[in-house]
């Protein structure tokens, strides 16, 4: 394979690319594909995971990230609302869920939700609503709540319910997931968050969340949402008992779904936090593995525009580093978060606009405030 050196100038980033260096790291042909804009195969994904040269991986992911977004790093003024932790699914990894009547179980009323929104330090542009699969909260509760939210916070986009919750509501109401999505859209929902994807590979999924909606149905609900005009996000929970092949299978399924229905806006790689979990983990996730997985996600998901460095789960410092490994979004103010913090997240509950901007600038990027759909504001 020919070795040569060249400068690559991309949207305010300049890279000295030595082909010999990438050849020696075993990544020469992958560099060629990336520069040509060609899709990476699952085999390429394995080569990337096997590569020990973290700097080479980071450079490849940064090339793609710079081509797509230059030095911009996005953030949003958002507010999370976790409306209940009562859940019938009992996923083994989950530290958040409780059974009804169990100590620590909670369920917010419509007034509780409105009060939380009113007390947010700044008016949110994105309201992220997710919770457990509660046995009997009717869909009408959310329809009424969303109508009130939209009338009091018309500038905010409601990003609500994982595909798992959508399928759960459909089941308890005896209606289709399409009808569920249509009713929620009419009430004001515009986006679906990416949770509930966990890991798609059936055998591993059965071990970590046997009662949860399966991969095909998770993807089907997102496809239906895309066709109804929702834009949606997607996630992958990694660093538990899954294999590298499971991670690559997961990324490949998301990429195929995106080829078909095209509505995924952002991918969020979620490193597994182990506190209060019933899952036994043999090899705890390392910081290196987190960065590699983020970089490889950027490289494999050539058709998903954004990769989120979710500071709540990664921790702020690792989220900053992730911006040099392919991530271009820093999520947002969040204000109150329970899912990660009940699992041992050591990050703060909230960040302010100026903290977000300072952190982004501090690692050499340009902060850009966005709305929920990634339009610059
Ligand atoms: O679905 C649960 C994960 C997800 C743990 O769409 C855990 O913009 C790590 O999906 N350690 C919910 N992760 C969070 C989520 C999300 C967050 C921020 C933004 C968006 C978006 C989506 O959290 C769950 C599950 O995959 N999770 N427990 C844990 N112990
Ligand atoms: Fe319920 Fe979600 Fe926790 Fe699973 S991960 S137990 S669906 S709250």
Cα 205 from Cα 143, distance rounded (Å):
31
pTM value is 0.96
Q: Using CA positions, which residue lies closest to atom 5 of ligand 2?
A: 94
Q: What's the pLDDT tens digit per position in 228-258?
A: 999 999 999 999 999 999 999 999 999 999 9
Q: Using CA positions, which residue lies closest to atom 2 of ligand 2?
A: 132
Q: What's the pLDDT tens digit per position in 25-77?
A: 999 999 999 999 999 999 999 999 999 999 999 999 999 999 999 999 999 99
**d(CA 162, ligand 1 centre) in Å:** 10
**Are 285 and 318 within 8 A, CB to CB?**
no
With a 6 Å cutoff on the Cβ, whether 97 touches ligand 2 is yes
pLDDT at 1: 47
N-to-C CA span, the chain: 46
Q: What is the CATH number of domain 72-369?
A: 3.20.20.70
Cα 268 from Cα 311, distance rounded (Å):
11
Q: Using CA positions, which residue lies closest to atom 14 of ligand 1?
A: 195
**d(CA 88, ligand 2 centre) in Å:** 8
To test the ligand 1 pocket, which listed residue (128, 168, 204, 235) has its Cβ within 8 A of the most ligand atoms?
235
Q: Closest by alpha carbon to 59, among 22, 26, 24, 23? A: 22
- Does the annotation flag 363 for ligand binding? no
Atom of ligand 2 at shortest distance to CA of 164? 7
| Contacts of residue 4, Cβ cutoff 8 Å, sequence gap at least 6 | 18, 19, 20
Q: What is the token pair recorded at 188?
A: 């004001």
Atom of ligand 2 at shortest distance to CA of 165? 7
**d(CA 210, ligand 1 centre) in Å:** 17
**d(CA 194, ligand 1 centre) in Å:** 8
- Does the annotation flag 234 for ligand binding? no
Q: Using CA positions, which residue lies closest to atom 28 of ligand 1?
A: 94
Domain layout of the chain by residue ranges = 5-69, 72-369
DSSP states along 8-66 = EEETTEEEEEEHHHHHHTT-HHHHHHHHHTPPPPHHHHHHHHH---HHHHHHHHHHHHH
Q: Residues lining ligand 1, CB < 6 A? A: 93-95, 162, 193-196, 198, 233, 235, 237, 268, 270, 272-273, 277, 310, 313, 331, 339-340, 343
Q: What is the token pair recorded at 135?
A: 């046995």
**d(CA 257, ligand 1 centre) in Å:** 20
Tokens 């859940």 found at = 87
Q: Using CA positions, which residue lies closest to atom 9 of ligand 1?
A: 272
Cα 38 from Cα 44, distance rounded (Å):
12
Nearest ligand atom owner, CA of 193? 1
> Which parts of the chain register pLDDT below 50?
1
**Are 194 and 226 within 8 A, CB to CB?**
no
pLDDT at 3: 63
- Does the annotation flag 266 for ligand binding? no
Cα 17 from Cα 13, distance rounded (Å):
12
């Amino acid at each position: 394979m020919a070795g040569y050196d060249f400068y690559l100038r991309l949207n305010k980033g300049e890279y000295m690319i030595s082909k010999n260096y990438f050849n020696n790291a075993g990544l020469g042909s992958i560099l060629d594909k990336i520069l040509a804009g060609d899709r990476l195969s699952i085999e390429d994904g394995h080569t990337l995971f096997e590569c020990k040269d973290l700097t080479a991986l980071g450079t490849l992911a940064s090339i793609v990230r710079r081509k797509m977004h230059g030095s911009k790093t996005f953030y949003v003024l958002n507010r999370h609302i976790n409306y209940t932790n009562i859940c019938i699914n009992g996923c083994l990894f989950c530290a958040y869920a409780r059974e009804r009547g169990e100590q620590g179980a909670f369920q917010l009323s419509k007034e509780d939700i409105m009060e939380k929104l009113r007390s947010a330090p700044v008016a949110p542009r994105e309201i992220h609503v997710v919770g457990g699969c509660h046995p009997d909260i009717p869909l009408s509760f959310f329809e009424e709540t969303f109508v009130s939210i939209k009338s009091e916070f018309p500038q905010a986009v409601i990003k609500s319910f994982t595909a798992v919750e959508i399928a759960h509501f459909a089941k308890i109401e005896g209606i289709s997931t399409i009808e569920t999505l249509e009713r929620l859209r009419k009430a004001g929902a515009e986006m679906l968050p990416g949770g509930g994807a966990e890991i798609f590979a059936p055998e591993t999924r059965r071990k970590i969340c046997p009662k949860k909606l399966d991969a095909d149905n998770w993807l089907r609900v997102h496809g239906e949402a895309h066709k109804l005009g929702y834009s949606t996000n997607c996630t992958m929970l990694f660093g538990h008992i899954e294999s590298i092949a499971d991670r690559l299978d997961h990324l490949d399924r998301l990429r195929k779904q995106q080829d078909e229905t095209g509505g995924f806006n952002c991918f969020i790689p979620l490193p597994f936090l182990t506190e209060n979990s019933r899952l036994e983990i043999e090899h705890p996730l390392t910081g290196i593995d987190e960065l590699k997985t983020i970089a490889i996600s950027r490289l494999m998901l050539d058709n998903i525009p954004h990769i989120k460095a979710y500071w709540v789960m990664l921790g702020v410092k690792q989220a900053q580093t992730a911006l040099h490994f392919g991530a271009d979004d820093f999520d947002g103010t969040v204000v109150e978060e329970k899912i990660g913090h009940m699992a041992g997240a050591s990050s703060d509950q909230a960040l302010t606009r100026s903290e977000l901007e300072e952190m982004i600038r501090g690692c050499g990027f340009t902060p850009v405030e966005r709305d929920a759909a990634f339009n610059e504001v």
